[in-house]
Amino acid sequence: MSNVIAMTPPGYPTVSVRTKMSDGGKKFRNRFSIRELGDIRNVPTFMAVQFREKIEERGKDQPFSDIELAKFYMSLVKSKIDTAQINIFTDEIARKWKAALPKNHLKAAHNFAEYEWSGMAVANDRAKGEANVKGTFGFTDLADYAYGRIKKVNDTFAPEIYRHGKELVRIVRDSKTGKDEMEILFPRSLRPIVNRIAPFFEGQNGESQSISAPMDVVEELFYGDYSFPELAQIATYPIFAPDGGLIDVDGYDEETGIYMSLPGDLNIPRVPKNPSQLDVDRALDRLLDVFGDFPFDGQDCRPGGETLEADEVPASMANMLAMVLTPYCRQMINGPLPLAFVSKPKVATGASLLSASAYTIAAGVSEPSAALPSNEEERRKVIFASLRKQKPYGCSVRRVTRQASHRAVFRLDSRFPPPCCRRGRPCPHRSPAP
């Protein structure tokens, strides 16, 4: 634990708050005097691109000093830079000055800045009498206070809590894959987040002692009708917004509800705002070159290896290109889309490779396909689990039998019933959708 003394406005008492700063963060903090801590807290804010310039403009023989490092991370936190982006900067600094600034030292500096600044906010609130004390305030006041603090954080920083459909969720980074994932929250997992954002106190022996958030307040936030930022999906590839604008910057996009988590090694070429016909032709030629060797509609699309022209594209290949492009422009389409099936007349014609290629273009990695189970209930589980994951394509299966296509698969969208269920014909497959 570490004490943080509030820099309160004139007329308010000076108070201190104990924060859960890591041991490394505390050791890093102890390097500075009170005056230096004041200077660190007063650093200005910058745009993300300016932080990268600060790293790039320094030579390899000019690593950050401790106070420069403290100011750098404090400015990142105060500037509301997304944690994922801060981690990217940390990796860049560690690579550039590996010997002088090991990664554990950088993490300690980040931890110090994060808890020093959050501790300042808590201490200032306590000094102004804004923190809530259990037993002094009623249930409604406590719930309003907690939601107000969460809303303030969500509005001014990268949101901590989102709503995905009917669920409350947060974004966490998988320690094994390094990818951002959506984690569904429950009252018990929501409570630590409330504790961090909205501290509660209880009067004991004439002093206010920090306590965990009352569980009835947490359950009110969880079950109550409160507004949280809508999270539509986590995207690992650039996406066009409904208005046609390209979303290619890490972080949460409020207008679309998309959280962009681009791979660090992804190189996005410059995309013209108003592409010329030449730009369009080049992009199409590249796609045709990737898929031109597959036997669409049972024919060799470019015998002898010659260049495939746009007006020579078979119908099945056009549908394939539409499937490849769909993840990037899905937000521009206000309505459902038909399912895509890749069929083949015989084995070893490349259907699995074709599907894997489309997935790899968007995700950067191949996605193993799986046969649908023969049991109807198990089929539903496989499809539902696949759709719940944040993928460019919702479901990738192979060997879809006629029976499977009639029931589990076609129920994904009632607009596309199996042929024998159309035109009001009696059909044994008609039953309530799961």
pLDDT, tens only, 218-238 = 999 999 999 999 999 899 889
pLDDT value at 11 more than 90: no
What is residue 97's predicted lDDT score, i.e. its pLDDT? 93
Share of the chain above pLDDT 90, in %: 26
* Per-residue model confidence (pLDDT) at position 429: 41
| Better pLDDT: 138 or 279 | 279
- Residue 204 has, within 13 A of its CA and on its CB side, a CA count of 5
Amino acid at 53: E
Decide if pLDDT at 424 tops 80: no
pLDDT tier, 309 (very low <50, low <70, confident <90, very high otherwise): confident
Q: Is residue 314 very low, low, confident or very high in pLDDT (cuts 50, 70, 90)?
A: confident
Bridge-based pairing of strands 2-5 and 167-173 is unpaired
Range 264-293 average pLDDT: 85
pLDDT on residue 17: 52
Task: Give the mean pLDDT of 408-413.
Answer: 45
Name the residue with higher pLDDT: 362 or 217: 217
- At 162, give phi and psi (nearest 5°): -125, 170
Q: How far apart are the first and last CA of the chain?
A: 51
Res. 192: pLDDT tops 90: yes
- 231, 182 Cβ separation under 8 angstroms: yes
Spell out where 15-174 has E strands. 16-19, 132-134, 162-164, 167-173
Q: Where are the alpha helices (DSSP H) in 246-302?
A: 277-291
- Residues contacting residue 300 through CB under 8 Å, at least 6 positions apart: none
**162 neighbors 251 (Cβ within 8 angstroms):** no
pLDDT-based confidence at residue 179 (cuts at 50, 70, 90): confident
Question: What residues contact residue 26 under an 8 Å CB cut-off, 6+ apart?
Answer: 2, 112
State the pLDDT confidence band at 207, using cuts at 50, 70 and 90.
low
Q: Residues 284, 307: contact at Cβ < 8 Å?
A: no
Query: 315-329 vs 277-291: helix axis angle to the nearest 10?
Result: 120
Q: Which of 142-146, 263-267, 299-303 has the lowest mean pLDDT?
A: 299-303
Statement: residue 113 has pLDDT above 60: yes
Question: Per the structure block, which two tokens stand in for 361?
Answer: 């273009």
For residues 140 and 390, the model is more confident at: 140
Identify the CA nearest to 115 among candidates 151, 73, 150. Answer: 73
* Mean pLDDT for the stretch of residues 75-103: 90
Q: Which of 64-73, 141-150, 311-320 has the lowest mean pLDDT?
A: 311-320
Quote the CA–CA distance of 392 and 234 in Å, as a whole number: 10
Q: Is the pLDDT of residue 89 over 60?
A: yes
Weakest mean pLDDT among 6-20, 247-261, 311-325, 344-358: 6-20
What pLDDT score was predicted for residue 287? 86
Residue 363 pLDDT greater than 50, yes or no: yes
The confidence score (pLDDT) of residue 38 equals 84
Q: Of the candidates 306, 280, 279, which has an alpha carbon nearest to the alpha carbon of residue 292?
A: 306
With cut-offs at 50, 70 and 90, classify the pLDDT of residue 19: low
Q: What is the CA radius of gyration of the chain?
A: 27
Q: Which pair of structure tokens corresponds to residue 350?
A: 């490349």
Higher pLDDT, 297 or 90: 90
Residues 44-65 have a mean pLDDT of 87
Q: Which residue from 50, 107, 45 is spatially nearest to 76, judged by alpha carbons?
A: 45
Q: Is 391 exposed, middle or buried (0-12, 13-18, 19+ CB in 10 A)?
A: middle
Average pLDDT of the residues in 251-260: 92
Q: By the 8 A CB rule, do 40 and 76 touch?
A: no
Distance, in Å, from the CA atom of 120 to the CA atom of 247, rounded to the nearest integer, reads: 34
Q: Average model confidence (pLDDT) for the chain?
A: 79
Mean pLDDT of 14-38: 78
